[in-house]
Every structure is written in C-alpha cells, then in structure tokens.
C-alpha cells in the first residue's frame, strides 16, 4: 500500500508541476481498425512510447508525457516529430496557455483550504504528526507551513518540493516542449484546471490523509523513484513504467479518481473523435497509457485498437 501511494503521490506531484509551469445522430460511425495490438517487442524502441488509433479517415496519436523533467533529458526524437508535424490539432490534458499558472494557483488555493479554525495537523494521529513534521523539517520548512491546507494539497506539495529541489522543472516538461514544437497547430484540451483540482478535492478525507502520509513517509524516495520512472519512459519501456507506476493499486478512491475514471472518459472522447476526419496528437500523462485499465484498455472495450508505433 505505501509503495502504491508513493507512486500515486509522484503522479499527482508531476501533474501539479505541470500546473505551476504553467456530427448528426443519423451519421454512421466509421469502422475502427481491427482490434489487434502490436506488442512492444515488435516495435523498435527509439524513445518514449507512441501509439496510434486509426480508421479510414482519422488518425489519433497517443503520447504519454511527464509533466516535469530535468533540463538535460533529451526525448524529442524518433516518430514523435513526424506524428506531431502531421497533426491537425494538439490535444493536452489542460490548455497550456498564458494565464494557466495563475488560474491553477487560484484553483488550488480556493479549493485546497481547510475551513476556518481547522488545522491540518489536528487531523493526524500523534504518530502521523511526528512523521509529517519530520518530513517538513527535511524540506527546510516550518512545521506549521501547511496547517491551513487540506491533506491532498499538502500531499502534492510534499511530493513536489523534493523534485523541484532536485532540478525537475515544468519548463522542461513534455507539454512545454510540445507547445513549442507545435507552432501554429491548433490546440484543444481534454479537461480544465478546475476539474483536475476537483479530482483531488473530491477524495475522501481518509484517502487524502493516507495520500499525504505516503508522501511524508517516503520523502527520501520521491526523487530516486521518479528518476527510475523517467528512465523507463525515455527508453520506451511501457511495461516497465507500468510496473513502477501502477503495480498494486489497492486504494480504490485514489486509483479511480486519479487514473481509471479519467482513462474511460478519454477513451470515450477518442471514440467520438473518430467520427471527424483528420489527424490528432493527444498528449497525456504517461501513467494513463501504461498498465491495466489504461486508456488503451478502455478503448479495447469499445472495440478500438491502439497500435504502438514507437
């Protein structure tokens, strides 16, 4: 459980880092390609994994991102440039545009505060409080710094700060690079900042506290764990990445809210988008395209194949 929650804390923290950089019913639906999937071992691994969904007149590329990276990581290679250059639209989780950072910060602060008179540390057992305060000290922060925060917001900060201190930056994140490379290609988004914040804010309080304590207890493991995930991502080892990110997801509320429900929603969007001719490059967090109950799995339940092309 603790290992799983630490992985989810990492996913949440990289999402937060991304914030802070930051036809007619009568028409017949095109027939999807046959539901066969190219195994990873049949594809030459030349960089981060890239998948394709296609029918007669529509191609949708699926690319798994990391929202923040060390600046020295080189990943824009192989088929990624060709896929993006051939696309009519770039679709990301949220719009990456001027003002997004301020919008995100406002949403975090408006939804992430405890009611007046409540304190975060008062929600904890003595054992939890001791571990939490030790993590704050390791980060060089006064132990009362997050007392007004709801546990989910404290969890994101506890996970995010070690990464920032270690040189991870949203300015080096995949979305920022894609935005630059895409040029005049039109943009779209699957979600809003407000929705993504509501995903965390809607977690049950016990899940929020468990989430936060996993981040606090694993404060020394966050950077090496994400380093390993980035290594798997850069090499295009989707199975290895899935093993690190999604193995043993045992907290139903966290897994459903952060991953599975959104994967199903995005698969529904992709299914509908196949009705419109053209080429689309969809870039979402890599954890959504890895492991069981991924976006590809949700597509498969709809009879839609996703073929790995890199």
Cα angle at 232 between 231 and 238, to 5 degrees?
160
Q: What pLDDT is stored for residue 46 in this prediction?
A: 61
Question: Among 15-24, 103-112, 169-178, 216-225, which stretch is predicted with the lowest mean pLDDT?
Answer: 15-24
Does the pLDDT value for residue 169 go beyond 50? yes
Strands 168-169 and 50-54: unpaired
Secondary structure of residue 149 in the 3-state scheme: strand
Per the model's pLDDT, the better-predicted residue between 109 and 262 turns out to be 262
Per the model's pLDDT, the better-predicted residue between 277 and 43 turns out to be 277
Domain count, the chain: 1
Does the pLDDT value for residue 19 go beyond 50? no
| Residue 295 belongs to some domain of the structure | no
| Residue 292 belongs to some domain of the structure | no
For 8, the domain range is: 2-20+30-287+301-308
pLDDT above 70 covers what percent of the chain?
A: 84
Does the pLDDT value for residue 284 go beyond 70? yes
Secondary structure of residue 97 in the 3-state scheme: coil
Residues 6+ apart with CB under 8 A from 227: none
Residue with tokens 């132990």: 143
| Residue 294 belongs to some domain of the structure | no
Does the pLDDT value for residue 23 go beyond 50? no
- Scanning 117-182, the segments in alpha helix (DSSP H) are 126-138, 151-165, 174-182
Rounded CA-CA distance 15/209 in Å is 19
| Residue 296 belongs to some domain of the structure | no
Q: What pLDDT is stored for residue 104 in this prediction?
A: 82
pLDDT bucket at 43, cuts 50 / 70 / 90: low
| Residue 141 belongs to some domain of the structure | yes
Q: Phi, psi (5° rounding) for residue 168?
A: -70, 140
- For residue range 138-147, list pLDDT tens digits in order: 999 999 999 9
Q: What pLDDT is stored for residue 9 in this prediction?
A: 56
- Scanning 174-221, the segments in alpha helix (DSSP H) are 174-182, 193-201, 205-217
Does the pLDDT value for residue 39 go beyond 60? no
| Residue 257 belongs to some domain of the structure | yes
- For residue range 80-133, list pLDDT tens digits in order: 999 999 999 999 999 887 777 788 888 888 999 999 999 999 999 999 999 999
Q: What pLDDT is stored for residue 206 in this prediction?
A: 92
pLDDT bucket at 32, cuts 50 / 70 / 90: very low
Q: What pLDDT is stored for residue 72 in this prediction?
A: 87
């Amino acid at each position: 459980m603790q290992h799983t929650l630490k992985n989810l804390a990492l996913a949440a923290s990289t999402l937060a880092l991304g914030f802070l950089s930051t036809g007619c019913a009568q028409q017949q639906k095109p027939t999807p390609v046959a539901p066969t999937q190219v195994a990873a071992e049949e594809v030459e691994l030349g960089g981060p994994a890239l998948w394709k969904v296609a029918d007669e007149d529509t191609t949708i590329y699926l690319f798994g991102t990391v929202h923040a990276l060390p600046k020295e990581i080189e990943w824009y290679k192989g088929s990624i440039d060709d896929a993006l250059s051939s696309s009519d639209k770039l679709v990301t989780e949220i719009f990456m545009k001027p003002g997004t950072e301020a919008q995100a910060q406002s949403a975090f602060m408006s939804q992430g505060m405890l009611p007046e008179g409540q304190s975060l540390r008062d929600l904890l057992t003595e054992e939890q409080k001791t571990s939490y305060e030790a993590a704050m000290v390791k980060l060089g922060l006064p132990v009362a710094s997050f007392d007004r925060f709801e546990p989910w917001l404290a969890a994101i900060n506890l996970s995010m700060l070690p990464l920032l201190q270690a040189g991870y930056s949203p300015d080096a994140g995949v979305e920022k690079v894609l935005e630059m490379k895409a040029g005049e290609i039109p943009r779209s988004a699957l979600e809003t900042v407000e929705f993504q914040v509501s995903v965390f804010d809607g977690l049950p309080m016990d899940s929020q506290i468990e989430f936060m304590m996993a981040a606090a207890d694993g404060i020394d493991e966050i950077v090496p764990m994400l380093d390993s995930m980035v290594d798997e991502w850069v090499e295009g080892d989707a199975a290895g990445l899935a093993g690190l990110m999604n193995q043993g997801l045992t907290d139903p509320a966290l897994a459903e809210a952060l991953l599975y429900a959104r994967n199903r929603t995005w698969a529904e969007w992709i299914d509908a988008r196949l009705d419109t001719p053209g080429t689309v490059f969809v870039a979402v967090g890599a954890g959504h395209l890895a492991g069981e109950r991924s976006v590809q799995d949700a597509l498969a339940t709809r009879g839609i194949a996703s073929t790995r092309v890199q």
